[in-house]
Amino acid sequence: MSNLLRLQAALSTTECPAVVLTDMNNVRWVSGFTGSFGQAWVTQNRAAFVTDSRYAIQAAEQVEGFDLNVFAAPKNLTETMTEVVANLALNSVMFETSLSVATWTEWKAKFPGLTLVPAEDLMKPLRMVKTEDDVRRIQEACRLADACMSHARRMLQPGVTEYDVGLDIEFYFRRNGAEVGFSPIVASGPNSARPHATPGERKFEVGDFVTLDLGGRLDGYCSDITRTFVIGKASDRHREVYEAVLAAEQAAIAAIRPGMTGKEVDAVARDLLANQGLAQYFGHGLGHGLGLQVHDPGGLSTRSTDKIEVGQVWTIEPGVYIEGFGGVRIEDDVLVTKDGAQVLTHVDRSLQELT
Ligand code: ZN
Ligand code: ZN
């Protein structure tokens, strides 16, 4: 079933049976449109797409199942929206809660006959469950991230800077037809204790943990993986922390099942780290949804009530960060099937000593 049909089915259960999507990730999700400006107006049985003349040709190529409303000067957006509201005979419509207050205020003033209703929980459960087509694209993005990790690993040697490796990761994705899903993290030595370190001028040294967190966006869909390496020989402490994080990651991957909550999955990893006396160094959630965005809707954390379902794609990424010593994070991407996790990322996750 297409995402448009899924949304229309969901609208048959909501009090207000129409929605206007303006967040471009949601617009792309429902229509396939990849441009930078568009609105998707959807009711239970109709759909209208609004964009401007810059995207006339592109919208005609990409958007399926919608009536196209492309405006060009001197016609403007407000006039076009007025026509759509009339055509769809709307007197109320849901809007995304990410809509800016400025836009909401403007719409209130311009469309006094249209009641605006916040679409609180409409898109999240839909976006969290991927179609087969979404999954195929995520798998391709994962394959590229695996290859990029293998490539970047070869640059990890004493004297090379974090910044150079970060740049090379970005170059690798672009060279292979992808976008950078997010600015890569290259964190060495004491910097590896910062979960979201920015690559800097620090040069790798023997005895460093080096954490690489990278992902590409290929055909719109993201991957997101992390590996941590040791430059030179690993110390006992390196090994102890690394093995604890890896065991936590593998246990969470083995445990995830449809019907669990995000909190229950998080607890599998967190409890194992607690047994090793390391839970206080694991400050972030275990994982997040992955899809059109690197941080797609959904979270695995100590408070998450999100329900695990077949067709969801999650990152599993426990970490231990010890100030002054360094940190380890290991992150893989998994698809939830009825039997549990199918791991989509495969690059070696054993402790690697780069000598
Ligand atoms: Zn990551
Ligand atoms: Zn992540």
Q: Do residue 201 and residue 62 come from a single domain?
A: no
End-to-end C-alpha distance for the chain, whole angstroms: 51
Domain C-terminal end among 65, 96, 124? 124
Q: Do residue 319 and residue 232 come from a single domain?
A: yes
Residue 183, classed as helix, strand or coil, is coil
In angstroms, what is the span from residue 284 Cα to ligand 2's centroid?
A: 11
Q: Is the pTM of this model over 0.75?
A: yes
pLDDT digits (tens, 9 = 90+) for 13-69: 999 999 999 999 999 999 999 999 999 999 999 999 999 999 999 999 999 999 999
In angstroms, what is the span from residue 40 Cα to ligand 2's centroid?
A: 29
Q: Do residue 311 and residue 174 come from a single domain?
A: yes
Which ligand sits closest to the CA of 212?
1
* Percent of the chain surpassing pLDDT 70: 100
Q: Do residue 145 and residue 252 come from a single domain?
A: yes
Q: Do residue 206 and residue 281 come from a single domain?
A: yes
For every residue of 301-339, DSSP letters joined together read STT--PBP-TTBEEEE--EEEETTTEEEE-BEEEEEETT
The length of the chain is 355
Q: Do residue 114 and residue 69 come from a single domain?
A: yes
Q: Is 21 left (phi over 0), alpha (psi -120 to 50) or beta?
A: beta
Q: Using a CB cutoff of 5 Å, list residues around ligand 2, an ion.
A: 224, 315
Do the Cβ atoms of 20 and 111 come closer than 8 Å? no
pLDDT digits (tens, 9 = 90+) for 132-149: 999 999 999 999 999 999
Q: Do residue 94 and residue 207 come from a single domain?
A: no
Report phi then psi at 50, rounded to 5.
-115, 130
Q: How far apart are CA 191 and CA 330, in angstroms?
A: 16
Q: In whole angstroms, how far apart are CA 20 and each of 24, 37, 40, 92, 131?
A: 12, 13, 6, 10, 22
3-class DSSP string for 65-122: CCEEEEECCCCCHHHHHHHHHHHCCCCEEEECCCCCHHHHHHHHHHCCCCEEEECCCC
In angstroms, what is the span from residue 219 Cα to ligand 1's centroid?
A: 19
Q: Do residue 99 and residue 168 come from a single domain?
A: no
In angstroms, what is the span from residue 154 Cα to ligand 1's centroid?
A: 19
Q: Do residue 265 and residue 304 come from a single domain?
A: yes
In angstroms, what is the span from residue 331 Cα to ligand 1's centroid?
A: 6
In angstroms, what is the span from residue 8 Cα to ligand 1's centroid?
A: 33
Domain CATH code at residue 337: 3.90.230.10
Statement: residue 1 has pLDDT above 90: no
Statement: residue 257 has pLDDT above 90: yes
In angstroms, what is the span from residue 225 Cα to ligand 2's centroid?
A: 7
Do the Cβ atoms of 334 and 341 come closer than 8 Å? yes
pLDDT tier for residue 342 given thresholds of 50, 70 and 90: very high
pLDDT tier for residue 160 given thresholds of 50, 70 and 90: very high
In angstroms, what is the span from residue 246 Cα to ligand 2's centroid?
A: 16
In angstroms, what is the span from residue 24 Cα to ligand 1's centroid?
A: 22
In angstroms, what is the span from residue 118 Cα to ligand 1's centroid?
A: 31
Average pLDDT, the chain: 97
Residue-number span of the structural domain to which 77 is assigned:
3-124
Domain CATH code at residue 74: 3.40.350.10
Domain C-terminal end among 124, 143, 167? 124
Q: Using a CB cutoff of 5 Å, list residues around ligand 1, an ion.
A: 213, 224, 226, 331
Which ligand sits closest to the CA of 316?
2
In angstroms, what is the span from residue 282 Cα to ligand 1's centroid?
A: 15
| Tally of domains in the chain | 2
Q: Do residue 225 and residue 116 come from a single domain?
A: no
- Mean pLDDT across 81-109: 97
Q: What is the pLDDT of residue 348?
A: 98
Do the Cβ atoms of 246 and 230 come closer than 8 Å? no
Q: How far apart are CA 147 and CA 354, in angstroms?
A: 18
Q: Do residue 55 and residue 190 come from a single domain?
A: no
Beta bridge partners of 95: 20, 118
Do the Cβ atoms of 301 and 262 come closer than 8 Å? yes
Q: Do residue 350 and residue 202 come from a single domain?
A: yes
